[in-house]
Each structure stands twice: as C-alpha cells, then as structure tokens.
Copies of this chain bind each other. A is one copy, B any other.
Amino acid sequence: MALLVQKYGGTSVGSIERIQHVASKIMLAKSQGHDVVVVVSAMSGETDRLIRLAEALSTEPTPREYDMLVSTGEQVTMSLLAIALANHNCRARSYTGPQAGIITDNVHTKARIIEVKTETIRRDLAEGYVVVVAGFQGVNSQGDVTTLGRGGSDTTAVALAAALKADECQIYTDVDGVYTTDPRMIPEAQLLPQISFEEMLEMSSLGAKVLQMRSVELANKHNTPLRVLSTFNDGTGTLVTFEDKVMQRRLVSGIAFSREEAIISMTGVPNRAGIEGHILGLVSDAHIEIDMIAQNATDKDHTDFTFTVQRQDAPKTLKLIEAIASDLGAVAVKSNDKVAKLSLVGIGMRSHTGVASTMFKALGRVNINIQMITTSEIKISVIINEDCLEKGVRAVHEAFELHKSAAERHLAFMET
C-alpha cells in the first residue's frame, strides 16, 4: 500500500466522459489499497475562456483579480471529479489551493509555493477519503488567491507529494511517457522506462514539453519519484528518479529538439573584459530570453560572440545589437532565423568519451553543417538549419541505436 499523488491535466479532464474515466482510474488505485491524492487542472479551454473575458475588460487586468478569476477553472474540475467519485460510492473531498494549505509568496500570476500545510489532507486520508486538490493555485499571507503560472498544476502535485512524503507523484497526461525523441517525428523512438532528474530537466527545457521544468526541479530537490504516464492508454510510463547504475550504463537517453530558434553573431569584437555582460544585459533588459551562448577568441584581441533567442524575439534583438555594434567596434552582425536546435542528453556521457564525435560524425554523414555548439556535462546542443532537423534527429537517433529497446541496449553495453 502506497501513498500516490496523481495529477490529471486539462485534456485528461476535458469532458464529462473524461472526468468519469479519471474517476475510474482513481478508484482502481484505491481498490489496490493505495491512498490517493489527486491534483486537477481546469477543463481544457476553460482557462483560455476566462482569460479572454478578462482581456475583453482590460489590457492589463489587476493581477490579484486575474488570479482569482482563472483559479475558478480548477475549482470547477475538482468539484466535478469529487461528485463523480461519490457517485460510485468512493468517498472524496475536494479542496481549493487555499483550503488545501498551499501557501505561496505574493507574486500574483507566477507565485512560488513556500509551504504546504498537510493537516487537513492527512486527516482525510486517515479517514479513507480520496482528496482532490485544485492545481495551479495557492494563497498568500493576505489570504488572496495566487496562481503558479502555466503548467503550475504539475508543481502543485510535486509540492504535495513532497510534503506528504508520497511514494510516487504520477503525472497523467496525453502522452505515454518520455521517449528517446519525439515519436511524431521518428516513429522508431522508444519509450524510456526510467530517466534521471537531470536528464529530464535537460529534455524538458529543450522543448520536450512533457513536464513543467519547475516541477522536475522540485521533485529532484525533495527526492520525490515522479512518473509520467498516459491517462488514455495503459502502461507504466516513464519514472523520473535518482540516477542509478542502469542509467549510468546508458550512454545517452534521448534527443530533444526545438524549432523557432534564431542565431545572432557579432564578429571581430575587440576582446575587453565585461563586454559579454554588456551585450547580454542589453538584451535581457528588453525582457528577451537568451538560450545558448558561445564565444571564440579569433585572435588575442578579438572575439566572435554568438547567441540564440526565440525566433519571435529575433528582429527586436537584432535591432538592439546593431545599435551598439559600431560602438563596440564589431566587424559584422549576422543573424539567421531559419535554424533549429538539436540536443543529445544522457548522464552516461559524463563517463564516456567519444559521444560528441559520434554525434558530429553522424550529422556529417548526412551533410549537415553545424552552426553552433554548446556542451554541458550531460548534454550536447547544436544549431543547424531548420530544414535539416528531421534528417539530423534521425541520423543521431540511429547512431546511438536509440531505436532499439532499452533492454536490448543495456545488453549491448554489457557485452562490450
């Protein structure tokens, strides 16, 4: 008998029939002897509907009121789910974020959870209730409702799982789990039975949008096992957990990618201390998020400075950079907004050399020109032409034999 926190997203509770289906999954877990706490999102489309109402009244809705407004979406779902459970004689009680004791800071629309008071939930669990909690919301010290930002229901689930010391936090969604790469692009992609927190962070920040990054960070911090699995298909999904020997033996876990990238370079910049900070400060002051950064000293006095931004931010960024280029003495400013990012992720690459060269060779074999490279301990990212993305992902996927099942690959590593 375990304590499970299950989270169901907007698509999973998007209709009366789907709420019934979710109720049946909860009752199954309950019938297996588990204690269950459920976190729900708003029914799909509902949050957007509420936002449209607010925006019809004001271009800048008061954040306090905006939070109160959008938090009603999850309240509707939680009540409906509790009603559906009770209708099948499964005793259930629903709670808003404030009622559930989710205490946040005062930053409306992007609040952070600072404490979870679990007395009420523990009492209900002890009495045999399924506890349903509205995701995405909490209460600040003034008693005002706050929201946690998009995807905040994942964070609610992990925070509750951590505070309750749950055995597992299960994120039910519309995908079967985490794949070696996006199976819509590469049908041979394999479901990963396990992945480490660090790999998952790299995968989700790189566009494999299965889990909200903050929730993975939080699960990592509190050592809460996190499982991603499908609401609609059976299967055990992907367990995001602590690094273990099996994972370490695995060279790489998967390939993440994102389109919508733009690359901007300044060449021949005189190499003075603090110049990078100056350039990037200017961009981030304009609320533009910088992703990859690379710098190569071309000679001892000059450097080439390259970074990427979201494609939509490229024109504005370019204007900012061009305005300071001559002051900084740069030779040229170049940009390309038809590029994509391809990232290879795996904790195994820490202890294995040759991963980067295998990757670059695979790309070279299919004539893909690499425009930029950054690396971290468990990740290698390259910028390539967007047109080549699919070809590149396929080549790297095959080079690391990711189309083979995890069991086959482990076997292969054992043998070598």
Residues in A lying within 8 Å of B, measured CB to CB: 16, 19-20, 50, 53-54, 56-58, 60-62, 64-66, 68-69, 72, 75-76, 78-80, 82-84, 86-87, 92-94, 96, 99, 143
Copies per assembly: 2
The 6 closest A-B pairs by CB, nearest first: A69-B79, A58-B87, A72-B72, A65-B82, A68-B79, A61-B83
Please report the C-alpha to C-alpha distance between residue A312 and residue B269 in the assembled complex, in whole angstroms.
Answer: 88
With A16-B53, A53-B16 known to touch, is A62 a contact of B76 (CB < 8 Å)? Answer: no
Whether the Cβ atoms of A66 and B53 lie closer than 8 Å is no
B residues near A82, Cβ cutoff 8 Å? 62, 65
Please report the C-alpha to C-alpha distance between residue A104 and residue B78 in the assembled complex, in whole angstroms.
Answer: 22
Whether the Cβ atoms of A54 and B80 lie closer than 8 Å is yes
Whether the Cβ atoms of A53 and B80 lie closer than 8 Å is yes
The residue among A53, A57, A69 with the most chain B CB atoms within 10 A of its own CB is: A57
Whether the Cβ atoms of B69 and A80 lie closer than 8 Å is yes
Identify the closest chain B residue to A17 (Cβ): B56
With A72-B72, A75-B72, A143-B99 known to touch, is A65 a contact of B86 (CB < 8 Å)? Answer: yes
Identify the closest chain B residue to A120 (Cβ): B143
Whether the Cβ atoms of B68 and A75 lie closer than 8 Å is yes
The smallest beta-carbon distance between A93 and chain B, in angstroms, is: 7
B residues near A87, Cβ cutoff 8 Å? 57-58, 60-61
Whether the Cβ atoms of B143 and A56 lie closer than 8 Å is no
The residue among A65, A82, A86, A94 with the most chain B CB atoms within 10 A of its own CB is: A65
Which of B20, B62, B92 has a CB less than 8 Å from the CB of A83?
Answer: B62
